[in-house]
Amino acid sequence: MSWLHHEHSRRKALATATGLVAGAALPVSATASPHDPAGATLTAAAQFTNPVIWQDFADIDIIRVGNAYYYSASTMHYSPGAPILRSYDLVNWEFAGHSVPVLDFGPQYDLNGSRAYVRGIWASSLAYRPSNRTFYWLGQIDFAKTYIYTATSVEGPWSRLTTINNAYYDAGLLIDSDDTMYVSYGNTAISVAQLSADGRNQVRAQQVFTTPSSVGTLEGSRFYKINGNYYIFLTRPANGQYILKSTSGPFGPYTMRQVLLDLRGPVSGGGVPHQGGLVQTPSGAWYYLAFVDAYPGGRIPVLAPVTWTSDGWPVVQLVNGAWGASYPGPAAVPAPSLQAAPLTGVDTFDGTSLKSAWEWNHNPDNTKWSVSNGLTLRTATVTNDLYWARNTLTHRIQGPTSTATIQLDHSAMRDGDRAGLALLRDSSAWIGVKRDGGASRVVMVSGLTMDGNWNTTGTGTELASAAAQGGRIWLRAIADIRPGAGRPGTFSYSTDGTNFIRLGPSFTMGNDWRFFMGYRYAIFNYAAQALGGSVKVTRFELATP
């Protein structure tokens, strides 16, 4: 949500802060970098429309450092975890990096004897500490421990600072104006912990609020200090947002006010905006960036301005009683010098590393893949189950509809190998190449399914096939992820990169929320018989109509 201040005096006071750089008061010019030059002239942006990104970025935490905004999100079992997006206007976003380089929390995250679907990186927190010019990421894993990672740049490198033997569930990290670090956390019973000066240990913790039974569940903490008051921003999943306020310090007492409940959202067929974060622009305006449940695509961000009441409570600015489909844009760093790189387009896998838009399904086996003018995937798992296959590389789907196309060199596949492009979730389908008996076929496979405990219940049925001549093929998936619509996914292939042939029936993507993550395009190569084969992906294109 975003909050615009009416009163000149209130606006002037708040304009001296960084816009909630995790609550610390910091002059804008104090954190200048090539990405957020201090003192840049700000210009008014045009109208923006919601969602600001039609991709799956849930459990939002958002901060501003200088003139750049940073946005952290959940990734569950995908690796690397906790992506960071960057923007200069709150509307146009680009990938900047990941806070968690590898999910080294147990063998299940390596698909080694067990699996970690819908575990891993849940709602977590991103903050900036002015005193040491360092970014902090904090999150609990498997209800067991809390991990803190740090970096002096969001691009990394990120490294683990500490492990705390307390599980700060749905945590919000606040770095106070006196540099003290606090964490708000919990479900229904909301607590606050104080960390040691170096951020490595807990020195105090106490419960500060009990959610009334009339409200039910509150979680998803975001912790702020604004005008001397402490605020804990909480969600009632998945249809409400509430805020706690303390005028007596971080440990309360707190009083509660409802921010929104059952508010009509701006995405047709989607849910109520909730569970996001507040941020202030350099000019003093406030905004709320929330997400909307919009399956099968996932949980997608929507933006709205916010004002404050005279006694210090936030109010979302509505349009005809609903979260607006569009609003006037925030003041922005002027283009073109600080334009965000688009989230769609072509990747030829140049260089020697993957770009930040990519995340593996669980941790990869790094001995079985490489990037060098193309992505080489050597078979890493012997299985007949894509959900067990290591080194499946995923990319978020762009909504409301988009097309993913890969160019695949399959000449080095071996008998029993399967490689291709999937629409991946707990119910999946794919198009790809099967190599058997010395011959290759292009096939469409559907019926890959999981149960509610994320165990495989179906490994897929081949529904259509054709001969795959030569060693190169183009594979295409088209996904319509509009919630409430038909949710079709279709597959096609080409031998020349121009003329595509439809293969197999339409696949209906599932829209159950319990897997949490939305569908992804996924590139895979696994062995049903023996390791040793490989494929090379020389081009990936994500395009919208």
**pTM for this one?**
0.92
The per-residue pLDDT for 329 is 87
Top-confidence residue, 283 or 6? 283
Residue pointed to by tokens 């959610």: 211
Rounded to the nearest integer, the mean pLDDT of the chain is: 91
> SS3 of 109, please?
helix
> What domains are defined for the chain?
8-332 (2.115.10.20), 345-543 (2.60.120.200)
Q: pLDDT tens across 111-166, in order? A: 999 999 999 999 999 999 999 999 999 999 999 999 999 999 999 999 999 999 99
- Amino acid symbol at 46: A
Provide φ and ψ at 508, rounded to 5°: -90, 115
Mean pLDDT of the 83-108 span: 97
Distance CA 494, CA 478 (A): 14
Distance CA 230, CA 111 (A): 42
Residue 490 near residue 429, CB atoms below 8 Å: no
The per-residue pLDDT for 170 is 98
> SS3 of 494, please?
strand
- Asked whether the predicted pLDDT for residue 25 surpasses 60, the reply is no
Could you check whether the bond before residue 51 is cis, i.e. omega within 30 degrees of 0?
yes
The DSSP result for 212-279, as a single string, is -TTT---EEEEEEEETTEEEEEEEETTTEEEEEEESS-TT---EEEEEEES---SSTT----EEEEEE
Q: pLDDT tens across 471-527, in order? A: 999 999 999 999 987 999 999 999 999 999 999 999 999 999 999 999 999 999 999
- Asked whether the predicted pLDDT for residue 5 surpasses 90, the reply is no
Distance CA 494, CA 267 (A): 34
CA-closest candidate to residue 181, choices 136, 219, 221, 139: 136
Tokens of 14: 């708040």
The per-residue pLDDT for 484 is 86
